[in-house]
């Protein structure tokens, strides 16, 4: 399915708001959305919500022969998938540019930064090593997929426990979780990605862009850092021209944000650990009654209405009163009135076009008559009463009985009166028509 | 496994260069007669070839044509014989796909695409021998090729890689230096304005060191720009001499 394009006025509105340093959800330029981390029942499964963006991460492991050029290291495999449930624009099976970009970023952030000790994953050198597979699924796309995915990835890796293994000579024994407690992976540090969106050729900068902001941005800069202030990866994309100072400033902002997020992650992991140890309930099922995962809760935003009345009154008193619209019907021939003037007919002397014009004028006057306010006049009251007795014939076809409109020549037929409902007509126009009718007869 | 010394005690690198020294650069423009523009560059042992076709009519789907500017279509591939071990896939894997996207992004920003609406410019980069700084050599070759094709650009796009050995930033990393696993920064710069068209960093680098490494990469790009400029002017002299006065 094709994604809905962004309308020009929405784009302009967003850019103007950003110029005034305002964001749609009320955040400041450097504010992150709320990060919520929930764990599943199994080790290594978690869901991270960054605002409304949701990513599910799952870690699994397998014993495989190692790569020939690295016989003593385990294998890491990362995979990010953009599920069609995340956004209408995502299609299954199609390798889009975005997917390639995101996958490469996740790989660079987690693999090249050596956050996981691969040597510890070796069981028998040259024969058996652990292959750790991290699968990330995007469940809802509301902007800034890479940040949510990197948080989900590192949290899942920290949460994961692999089965314990013992080697006696040539024999390798893999213990089931019931026999021996599973062992966590050895993780040196936690790299977190922070995204910066640039607008107006780099003049304005926003942290954690939402989906709308991403659509109007010029370019994106992603910096991945850990809490020791080591940059794990930087990637600029989107064709913006950066200046060195901007990059340095962004790296300083990243350090602050990463510290906050790492603290949050630590707390979440500790909480989960505590709940499991105490034998409490854990897993996604537990969060259903709390409406954490399956419900899409709208948080009501508090609106300050303290001095709305005063403000409104001020605006009203200052504004000019609306000008009254006077409907002045123009008489063409008896039975025809026109309110408002159309443009000169530029089609030439064609009978058909004049007929069509006549029909259009008719409908125009009828519509105008419908909308006009009723005006009390004494003269018309008697005439109205007499007309009420006559049956109203509604003709479906607009074409029949249409006469060429020639002023002062042919009397208009009574088509006008048949289509008008008595209650809605303008008495003024009505009177004029009635008078014309009388004049004709 | 002890990492090999990147910088010896006297301050020389493994191949005898100083920390801020670039490898020897040899470049030729107008290598192919068929293509609109072509260039070949050698940076040390890294050899890259770039070919440019365009601006021409949109091939394939007309619907992808942009109404106000040209579309830049890039392809990046490493020859199967280019690396130490024979590569099974010259292109099509994620890494080369990402590099092709980055190439497109870099050149879309540098080429004046507004001058050729509804048309397409193709840039094909082939790495014949990969010895470190492959992507940078590709970008430099592509710059020369685009100039050879006569497509107007804002400025040269010069790319260079930089790394860190202890506290000293190194410019223009070779393959053994990259294999050590230290931080590697790839920078594509428009030298006149100092604007960064592409910035990519892999492996860990402390935030305090970022500025030094960025500066080293920037200097290297400017030095590269001087060399490329000389090559272009030489070529121009050649061509005008051939055409006659």
Q: Which of A393-402, B163-172, B216-225 has the lowest mean pLDDT?
A: A393-402
Range of the domain at A94: 23-281
Asked whether A10 and A24 are in contact (CB, 8 A), the reply is no
- Mean pLDDT within B36-57: 94
Q: Which residue has the higher pLDDT, B27 or A343?
A: B27
- Mean pLDDT within B21-44: 94
CATH of the domain at A67: 3.30.230.70
Length of chain A: 441
The number of C-alpha atoms within 13 Å of B202 and in the hemisphere containing its C-beta is 16
Q: Which residue of A69, A101, A252 is in closest CB contact with B101?
A: A101
Bond preceding residue A50 cis, omega within 30 of 0: no
Report yes or no on B6 lying in a domain: no
Q: Which of B158, B203, B209 to mutate to test the interface with A (most CBs of A within 10 A)?
A: B203
Reported confidence tier of residue A369, pLDDT bands at 50, 70, 90: very low
Residues of B in contact with A218 (CB under 8 A): none
Which region holds residue A343: left if phi is over 0, alpha if psi is between -120 and 50, else beta? beta
Report yes or no on B11 lying in a domain: no
- CA distances A124 to A117, A164, A331, Å, are 16, 14, 102
d(CA B2, CA A26) in angstroms, rounded, equals: 52
d(CA B57, CA B5) in angstroms, rounded, equals: 52
Reported confidence tier of residue A376, pLDDT bands at 50, 70, 90: very low
pLDDT score at A331: 78
Residue A415 has pLDDT above 70, yes or no: no
Cβ–Cβ of A247/B204 closer than 8 Å?
no
> Domain total for chain B?
1
Q: Which of A112-121, A404-413, B34-43 has the lowest mean pLDDT?
A: A404-413
pLDDT score at A355: 55
- Mean pLDDT within A406-426: 47
pLDDT score at A421: 44
Q: Which residues of B touch A (CB under 8 A)?
A: 85, 94-95, 97-98, 101-102, 105-106, 108-109, 181, 183, 185, 190, 193-208, 210-211, 214-215, 218
Listed in sequence order, the residues at least 6 apart from A291 whose beta carbon sits closer than 8 Å to its beta carbon are: A297
Report yes or no on B10 lying in a domain: no
Cβ–Cβ of A234/B95 closer than 8 Å?
no
Cβ–Cβ of A251/B207 closer than 8 Å?
yes
Range of the domain at B97: 20-243
Reported confidence tier of residue A125, pLDDT bands at 50, 70, 90: confident
Listed in sequence order, the residues at least 6 apart from B244 whose beta carbon sits closer than 8 Å to its beta carbon are: none
Report yes or no on A406 lying in a domain: no
Asked whether B161 and B173 are in contact (CB, 8 A), the reply is yes
- CA distances A7 to A199, A215, B78, Å, are 17, 11, 41
Closest residue of A to B218, CA-based? A244
Reported confidence tier of residue A427, pLDDT bands at 50, 70, 90: very low
Tell me the percentage of chain A whose pLDDT exceeds 70: 73
- Mean pLDDT within B9-17: 84
- Mean pLDDT within A52-68: 92
pLDDT score at A68: 87
Q: Which of A316-320, B35-39, B180-184 has the lowest mean pLDDT?
A: A316-320
Per the prediction, chain B carries an average pLDDT of: 89
Q: Which of A94-103, A195-204, B26-35, B210-219 has the lowest mean pLDDT?
A: A94-103
pLDDT score at B10: 79
Per the prediction, chain A carries an average pLDDT of: 78
pLDDT score at A349: 63
Order of strands across the sheet with B168-171?
A: A204-207, A192-199, A219-225, A230-237, B195-206, B184-190, B158-165, B168-171
Residues of A in contact with B218 (CB under 8 A): 244
Cβ–Cβ of A236/B194 closer than 8 Å?
no
Cβ–Cβ of B207/A225 closer than 8 Å?
yes
B158 has which bridge partners? B189
Could you tell me which of A213, A211, A196 has the C-alpha nearest to residue A18? A213
Report yes or no on A89 lying in a domain: yes
Measured in degrees and rounded to the nearest 5, phi and psi for residue A386 equal -60, -40
Asked whether A115 and A51 are in contact (CB, 8 A), the reply is no
Report yes or no on B157 lying in a domain: yes
Cβ–Cβ of B199/A242 closer than 8 Å?
yes
Residue A311 has pLDDT above 60, yes or no: yes
pLDDT tens, B79-136? 989 888 887 777 778 788 889 989 998 898 899 999 999 999 999 999 999 998 999 9
> Domain total for chain A?
1
pLDDT score at A343: 73
Residues of B in contact with A101 (CB under 8 A): 98, 101
Closest residue of A to B183, CA-based? A232
Strand positions, DSSP E, B1-99: 25-29, 37-43, 46-57, 71-78
Q: Which residue has the higher pLDDT, B146 or A322?
A: B146
CATH of the domain at B70: 3.30.230.70
pLDDT score at B213: 92
d(CA B235, CA B56) in angstroms, rounded, equals: 24
- Mean pLDDT within B227-238: 93
Residue A353 has pLDDT above 80, yes or no: no
Cβ–Cβ of A108/B196 closer than 8 Å?
no
Report yes or no on A397 lying in a domain: no
Q: Which residue has the higher pLDDT, A153 or A433?
A: A153
Q: Which of A228-242, A403-417, B63-77, B82-96 has the lowest mean pLDDT?
A: A403-417
pLDDT score at A59: 94
Given CA atoms A288, A293, A296, A297 in this order, what sign does their dihedral have? positive
Q: Measure CA A186 to chain center.
A: 39
pLDDT score at A11: 92
Q: Which residue of A95, A112, A244 is in closest CB contact with B202?
A: A112
Strand positions, DSSP E, B64-153: 71-78, 119-129
How large is the C-alpha radius of gyration of chain A?
A: 37
pLDDT score at A417: 44
Cβ count near A158 (within 10 Å): 20
pLDDT score at A326: 66
Query: Is the complex ipTM higher than 0.85?
Result: yes
Q: Which of A14-28, A32-46, A405-419, B174-188 has the lowest mean pLDDT?
A: A405-419
pLDDT score at A354: 52
Task: Give the burial class of A210: count Cβ atoms within 10 A of its Cβ; 0-12 exposed, 13-18 middle, 19 or more buried.
Answer: buried
User: What pTM value is reported for the model?
Assistant: 0.74
Residues of A in contact with B210 (CB under 8 A): 231, 247-248, 251
Measured in degrees and rounded to the nearest 5, phi and psi for residue B82 equal -75, -30
Tell me the nearest-neighbour CA distance from A241 into chain B, angstroms.
Answer: 5
- Mean pLDDT within A256-267: 93
Cβ–Cβ of B94/A238 closer than 8 Å?
no
Reported confidence tier of residue A218, pLDDT bands at 50, 70, 90: confident
- CA distances A64 to A67, A165, A170, A187, Å, are 9, 14, 16, 21
Cβ–Cβ of B214/A239 closer than 8 Å?
no
Residue A363 has pLDDT above 60, yes or no: no
Reported confidence tier of residue A432, pLDDT bands at 50, 70, 90: very low
pLDDT score at A352: 55
Tell me the nearest-neighbour CA distance from B243 into chain A, angstroms.
Answer: 38
Cβ–Cβ of B195/A100 closer than 8 Å?
no
Task: Give the burial class of A314: count Cβ atoms within 10 A of its Cβ; 0-12 exposed, 13-18 middle, 19 or more buried.
Answer: exposed
d(CA B92, CA B128) in angstroms, rounded, equals: 17
Tell me the nearest-neighbour CA distance from B33 into chain A, angstroms.
Answer: 31
Residue A155 has pLDDT above 90, yes or no: yes
Cβ–Cβ of B202/A108 closer than 8 Å?
yes
Cβ–Cβ of A247/B218 closer than 8 Å?
no
pLDDT score at A333: 82
Q: Which of A361-370, B103-112, B131-140, B143-152 has the lowest mean pLDDT?
A: A361-370
């Amino acid at each position: 399915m094709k994604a809905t394009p962004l309308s020009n006025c929405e784009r302009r509105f967003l850019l103007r708001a950003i110029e005034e340093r305002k964001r749609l959800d009320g955040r400041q330029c450097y504010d992150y959305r709320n990060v919520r981390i929930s764990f599943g029942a199994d080790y290594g499964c978690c869901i991270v919500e960054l605002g409304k963006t949701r990513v599910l991460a799952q870690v699994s492991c397998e014993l495989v022969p190692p790569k020939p050029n690295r016989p003593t290291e385990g294998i890491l495999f990362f995979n990010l998938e953009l599920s069609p449930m995340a956004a209408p624009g995502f299609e299954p099976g199609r390798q889009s540019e975005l997917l390639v970009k995101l996958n490469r970023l996740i790989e660079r952030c987690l693999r090249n930064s050596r956050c996981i000790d691969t040597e510890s994953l070796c069981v028998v050198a040259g024969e058996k090593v652990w292959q750790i597979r991290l699968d990330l699924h995007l469940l809802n796309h509301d902007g800034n997929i890479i940040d949510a995915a990197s948080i989900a990835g590192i949290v899942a890796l920290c949460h994961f426990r692999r089965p314990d293994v013992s080697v006696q000579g040539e024999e390798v024994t893999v213990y089931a979780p019931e026999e021996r407690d599973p062992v966590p992976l050895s993780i040196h540090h936690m790299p977190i990605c922070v995204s910066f969106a640039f607008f107006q050729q780099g003049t304005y900068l926003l942290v954690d862009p939402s989906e709308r902001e991403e659509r109007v941005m010029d370019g994106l800069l992603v910096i991945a850092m850990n809490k020791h202030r080591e940059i794990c990866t930087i990637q600029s994309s989107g064709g913006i021209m950066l200046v060195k100072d901007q990059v340095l400033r962004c790296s300083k902002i990243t350090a602050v944000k990463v510290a906050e997020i790492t603290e949050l992650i630590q707390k979440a992991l500790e909480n989960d650990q505590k709940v499991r140890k105490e034998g409490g309930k854990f897993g996604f099922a537990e969060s259903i009654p709390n409406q954490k995962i399956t419900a899409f809760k709208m948080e009501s935003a508090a609106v300050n209405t303290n001095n709305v009345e005063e403000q409104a009154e001020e605006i009203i008193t200052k504004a000019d009163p609306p000008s009254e619209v006077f409907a002045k019907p123009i008489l063409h021939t008896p039975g025809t009135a026109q309110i408002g003037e159309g443009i000169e007919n530029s089609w030439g002397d064609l009978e058909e076009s004049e007929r069509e014009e006549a029909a259009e004028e008719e409908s125009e006057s009828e519509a105008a008559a419908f909308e006009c306010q009723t005006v009390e006049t004494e003269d018309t009251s008697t005439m109205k009463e007499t007309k009420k007795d006559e049956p109203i014939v509604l003709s479906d076809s607009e074409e029949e009985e249409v006469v060429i409109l020639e002023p002062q020549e042919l009397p208009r037929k009574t088509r006008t009166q048949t289509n008008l409902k008595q209650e809605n007509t303008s008495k003024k126009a009505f009177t004029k028509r009635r008078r014309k009718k009388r004049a004709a007869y | 496994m002890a990492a090999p010394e990147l910088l010896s005690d006297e301050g020389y690198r493994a191949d005898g260069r100083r920390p801020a020294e670039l490898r020897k650069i040899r470049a030729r423009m107008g290598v192919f007669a068929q293509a609109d523009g072509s260039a070949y560059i050698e940076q040390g042992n890294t050899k890259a070839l770039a070919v440019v076709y365009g601006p021409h009519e949109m091939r394939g789907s007309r619907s992808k044509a942009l109404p106000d500017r040209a579309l830049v279509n890039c392809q990046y591939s490493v020859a199967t014989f280019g690396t130490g071990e024979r590569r099974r896939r010259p292109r099509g894997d994620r890494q080369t796909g990402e590099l092709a996207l980055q190439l497109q992004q870099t050149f879309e920003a540098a080429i004046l695409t507004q001058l050729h609406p509804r048309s397409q410019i193709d840039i094909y980069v082939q790495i014949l021998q990969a010895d470190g700084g492959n992507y940078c050599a590709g970008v430099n070759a592509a710059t020369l090729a685009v100039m050879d094709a006569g497509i107007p650009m804002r400025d040269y796009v010069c790319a260079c890689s930089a790394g860190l050995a202890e506290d000293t930033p190194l410019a223009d990393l070779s393959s053994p230096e990259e294999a050590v696993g230290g931080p590697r920064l790839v920078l594509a710069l428009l030298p006149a304005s100092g604007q960064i068209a592409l910035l990519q960093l892999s492996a860990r680098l402390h935030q305090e060191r970022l500025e030094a490494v960025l500066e080293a990469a920037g200097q290297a790009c400017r030095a590269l720009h001087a060399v490329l400029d000389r090559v272009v002017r030489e070529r121009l002299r050649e061509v005008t001499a051939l055409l006659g006065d």
